[in-house]
Amino acid sequence: MCPTLLSLLSLGFCVSLRIWAAVGKYEKLSLSAWPSPVVPLGQTVTLQCHSHSPLKRFRLFKTDGKRRLSELQGHHFNNFTLGPVTGEHAGSYTCSEAYWSAPSDPLEIVVSGVFQKPSISAHPGPLVQQGQNVTLRCHSLVMFDKFILHHENSTGHFQRRGEMLTGGYAPADFSIGPMTLASAGTYRCYGSLRRSPYEWSAPSDPVDIMITGLSKKPSLSAQRGPMVRSGENVTLVCSSESAFDQFHLLREGVNLGRHLAGGQSPRRALQAEFPLGPGTPAHSGVYRCYGSFTCSPYSWSNSSDPLFLSVTGSTTSTCPSIMDPHTTEEARLPQGHSRQLHLLLRLSVAFIYTSIFLAVLVCTGYP
């Protein structure tokens, strides 16, 4: 009897311990920021305290990482809206059910746009073959202590990818790679100062890093061949047997834009036409095209073979070249005319003077 009671008691103890543990787990709070913990100056952010019971009221505290500095007032259930934010709102926050209960993990709220944006560039370029590396360089004319690199992928996931201390006006070089689909996306950098780590600059302009080489190359051709006379319409056609729904055209590595895949060629390949308008010598150069799928915008195919386009013969050119002999002759003509006229005028003046002199001589010589 005694052992049964003991085991029943211990069973009950175990069960209540489990329940206690489960409740404890549920009551572990977490704090999140919507739409993002990086908030542009003057905008608002909603901090949400997550727990098992959504209709409970919570308290929100600003902390310095260890101690609670202040409590924020005026909230609605588990949501706290901050803003329009100023530099004062930047910092670390926790929420808890009561002042003495366990707080959530701290959440850092960064206020961006406090300083001028830095610049970002990709080296050697924004198109990166699978497995290769790319360097993203953040640079600014403002003297920052730190650059922070952010990455946003095609599913809109926003993530801090790295940070680097800099000295003086030195740029920060972030190496990304070996390239996979997960590292492709839009990158931006921010600058910050040591004395206020949660106040950042405005974001740099975005740079889109594409991974290439996950699908087969398309083919690129010029509708009337690669040798075009100046003034003739130039249309380049990018086509592929893969079912790409977008094609991208680049000249000397510069993106000229994208076109949706249109009609089908006789060989049932999907294709897009890029009309470049009447050809000029400036259209000459090396062209390449890539295919991609709308559902995976940061993944481009392998590069097409290069197309060397040459626009020649300026028959309809309206800008005459300096070396054109025709033009130089015409330009000299009016000047030649005036010189002859000048000579004629001088001769006739000389003739009149001589005649008068002779007449006077004759009249006075014969009294």
Ligand X SMILES: *[C@@H]1O[C@H](CO)[C@@H](O)[C@H](O)[C@H]1NC(C)=O
Per-residue tokens: 157: 């996931």
Minimum Å gap between C-beta 213 and ligand X is 4
For residues 146 and 160, which CB has a smaller minimum distance to ligand X in the complex?
160
Q: Which is nearer to ligand X, 46 or 119 (CB)?
A: 46
Q: Which residue has the tokens 């730190």?
A: 146
Which tokens is 342 given? 């000048």
The three-state secondary structure class of 193 is: coil
* H helix or E strand, kind and range, residue 57: none
Q: Which residues bind ligand X (CB under 6 A)?
A: 34, 46, 48, 76-79, 132-133, 153-155, 157, 175, 177-178, 181-182, 213, 215-216, 232-233, 302
Q: Give the nearer residue to ligand X in terms of CB position, either 119 or 186.
A: 186
| Closest to 71 (Cα-Cα) out of 103, 43, 118, 114 | 103
Q: Which residue's CB is nearer to ligand X, number 96 or number 301?
A: 301
In the complex, what is the shortest distance from the CB of residue 207 to ligand X, in angstroms, rounded to a whole number? 17
In angstroms, rounded to a whole number, what is the distance separating the alpha carbons of residues 271 and 248?
11
Length of the chain: 367
> CB-wise, 18 or 57, nearer to ligand X?
57
Compute the distance between CA of residue 60 and CA of residue 51 in angstroms, rounded to an integer.
14
Closest distance between ligand X and the C-beta of residue 348, in Å?
A: 55
> What sign results for the dihedral spanned by CA atoms 7, 13, 16, 18?
negative
Identify which of residues 32 and 328 has a Cβ nearer to ligand X in the complex.
Answer: 32
Q: Take residue 226 and report the two structure tokens written for it.
A: 């690669």
CA neighbor of 73 nearest in space, from 85, 65, 81: 81
For the record, the structure tokens of 367 come out as: 């009294």
155 or 340, CB closer to ligand X? 155
Nearer to ligand X, 103 or 213 (CB): 213
Give CA–CA dist 75/46, Å, rounded: 10
277 SS3 class: strand
Minimum Å gap between C-beta 159 and ligand X is 6
**Interatomic CA distance for residues 285 and 311, integer angstroms:** 9
Instruction: List Cα–Cα distances, 168 to 5, 173, 193, 200, 356, in angstroms.
Output: 75, 14, 11, 17, 89
Q: Between 140 and 215, whose beta carbon lies closer to ligand X?
A: 215
- CA 144 to each of CA 114, 124, 204, 212: distance values in angstroms, whole numbers, following the listed order: 12, 25, 14, 34
Chain centre distance of CA 300: 16
- Shortest gap between Cβ of 174 and ligand X (angstroms)? 11
3 state DSSP class of 285: strand
Question: Which amino acid would we find at residue 303?
Answer: S
In the complex, the smallest distance separating the C-beta of residue 270 from ligand X, rounded to whole angstroms, is 17
Q: How far is the CB of 35 from ligand X (least distance, A)?
A: 8
Give me the least distance between CB of 297 and ligand X, in Å please.
10
Shortest Å distance, C-beta 96 to ligand X:
18
| Cα 107 to the center of its chain, rounded Å | 28
